[in-house]
Amino acid sequence: MGIYDVITGNDAVAWGARLSRVEVIAAYPITPQTTIVEKLAEWVDKGEINARYIAVESEHSAMSAAMGASAAGARAFTATSSQGFLYMFEMISWAAGARTPIVMAVVNRALGPPWNIWSEHTDALMARDTGWIQFWASNNQEALDSIIQAYRVAEDKRVILPAMVMLGGFVLSHTAMPVKIHDQNKVDQYLPPYNPPHYVLNPKLSEPFAYGNILFPWDYVKVRLSIQKAMENSIDVIKRAAREFEEIFGIWHGDLIKEAYTDNAEMLIFALGAVAEQAEATAESLRKNGYKVGVVKVRITRPFPKQEIAKLANKVSHIIVIDRDISFGWDGILAGEIKATLHEYKVDTPVTTKIMGIGGDDILPSHIEKAVKEIYSK
């Protein structure tokens, strides 16, 4: 039947992994992700989930082990944040090239030095070039549901790419919210077992072959650019996965994006994850005060929802992008990508970058209102 409970974002992620019937978990602790792997360990030890649990000695090994498990045909899961994410970075890239549809939860956390454990999006955004599909959860329900959707998308035979699901450190990971924990049978209906269509490391199931030995540049081009093609395919797959999720579970988180208050908006605010929910709440009150502001939650950053964003931008006279991240020497990362998208689609709506909430600094409704009112006053 499914149950309602008030749980943290991390517990929601753990439930997502459990309901997805993950088969191999590679676990390494790092604040603020740790309670994910702790919850999973508890369930494994109690026999509530039937997964192999590898308590690896580093994040680099966590991604390595998850990749090995996936390549051998198992549904693999891991989780990390910040420094751990950066430590495993070469393996993140390798996993995409190995076409292993792992799902990883990334609990966003600021980078050091100096040490900081609070929410910032720069960590996961740094992997936007690696070939991973990127989901951003804006609340705990979405965190749980996005894990399930992520497996569905990643394992789709038109895609076969790993996917990461982001949730804000402490803001979501350690904040309890009401969440519907779905019925296992419904999830099984939505998410079939993983059956690798492309290769499997198992001599009982496959003739011998080698994966990834040296090749010449002209062959590398074809192999690597097929990842781009898979990304392009994933756009429809993501949309369909979200639609079918709504049909079965009755919940809609958006597909590539989710709009709020965009009808006859004059200005749009773009943001990721929990920041978008914050913006939405602020937009509600701004609307009441006569500001025609809408919010676009960018739910997926890879593949980047260019068409959807260009279309919405075309209808308004100004855009604010809230970036809880920064690319030093460049811009807010989301803002930079949106600006490039608008240029590509010949949309000349002005875009203002607002870098906010770096290092977990508060993003308050008053900050967002101020940004909106500033633009209006010009």
Partner 1 sequence: MSGNTNNHLILPISKPTKGAGGKTGSWRVFRPVIIEKKCIKCMMCWMYCPEAAIEVHSRSEVPKINYDYCKGCLVCKEVCPVNAIVSERESE
Partner 2 sequence: MVKTILDELIETDEFLLAGNTACPGCGSILALRYVLKALGKNTILVIPASCSSVYQAIYPKVSFKVITFNVAFASAAAVASGVKQALIKKGYDDVNVAVWGGDGGLIDIGAATVSGAAERNEDIFVFVYDNEAYMNTGIQRSGSTPPGARTTTTPLGKIVGFKKPMSFLMLLHGVPYVATASIAYPTDLYEKVKRAREIKGFKFIHILSPCPPGWRFDDSKTIEVARLAVETGYWILWEGGYRNGKINLNLSPPSRPYKDPSKRKSLEEFLKYQGRFKGFDEHSLKKLRDWIDYQWSFIDNFTRDHA
**Binding partner of residue 12 among partner 2, partner 1, none, CB under 5 to 8 Å per kind?**
none
Q: 113 CB contacts (<8 Å, ≥6 apart)? A: none
Rounded CA gap, 95 and 122, in Å? 20
Q: How far is the CB of 90 from partner 1 (least distance, A)?
A: 17
One symbol per residue from 9 to 48: x for binding partner 2 (CB under 8 A), - otherwise; what is it? --------------xx-x----------------------
**Are residues 49 and 79 in contact, defined by beta-carbon separation less than 8 angstroms?**
no
Which DSSP category does 239 fall into?
A: H
Is 138 a binder of partner 2 (CB under 8 A)? no
Q: Which is nearer to partner 2, 221 or 340 (CB)?
A: 221
Token duo for residue 20: 């997805």
The residue within the footprint of partner 2, chosen from 47, 113, 114, 208 (CB under 8 A), is 208
Count CB-CB contacts under 10 A for residue 23.
19
Q: How far is the CB of 153 from partner 1 (least distance, A)?
A: 13
**Binding partner of residue 158 among partner 2, partner 1, none, CB under 5 to 8 Å per kind?**
partner 1
Q: Which is nearer to partner 2, 54 or 238 (CB)?
A: 54
One symbol per residue from 94 to 133: x for binding partner 2 (CB under 8 A), - otherwise; what is it? x---------------------------------------
The residue within the footprint of partner 2, chosen from 7, 65, 133, 159 (CB under 8 A), is 65
Binding residues vs partner 1 (CB under 8 A): 99, 157-160, 197-199, 208-213, 215, 219-220, 222-223, 226-227, 229-230, 232-233
Rounded CA gap, 273 and 281, in Å? 13
What would you report as the CA-atom Rg of the chain, rounded to the nearest whole angstrom?
20
Q: Is 208 exposed, middle or buried (0-12, 13-18, 19+ CB in 10 A)?
A: exposed
Rounded CA gap, 139 and 274, in Å? 6
Q: 183 CB contacts (<8 Å, ≥6 apart)? A: 1, 2
Place of tokens 């992997």: 127
Please give the backbone phi and psi of residue 54, each rounded to the nearest 5 degrees, phi first: -105, 110
One symbol per residue from 66 to 95: x for binding partner 2 (CB under 8 A), - otherwise; what is it? xxxxxxxxx-x-------------xx--x-
Residue 109, beta-bridge partner list: none
Is 211 a binder of partner 2 (CB under 8 A)? yes
Rounded CA gap, 190 and 79, in Å? 23
CA angle 172, 176, 177 (to 5 degrees): 90
The residue within the footprint of partner 2, chosen from 212, 250, 290, 329 (CB under 8 A), is 212
Q: Which is nearer to partner 2, 57 or 263 (CB)?
A: 57
Binding site for partner 2 (CB under 8 A): 23-24, 26, 51-52, 54-58, 60-62, 64-74, 76, 90-91, 94, 201-204, 206, 208-216, 219
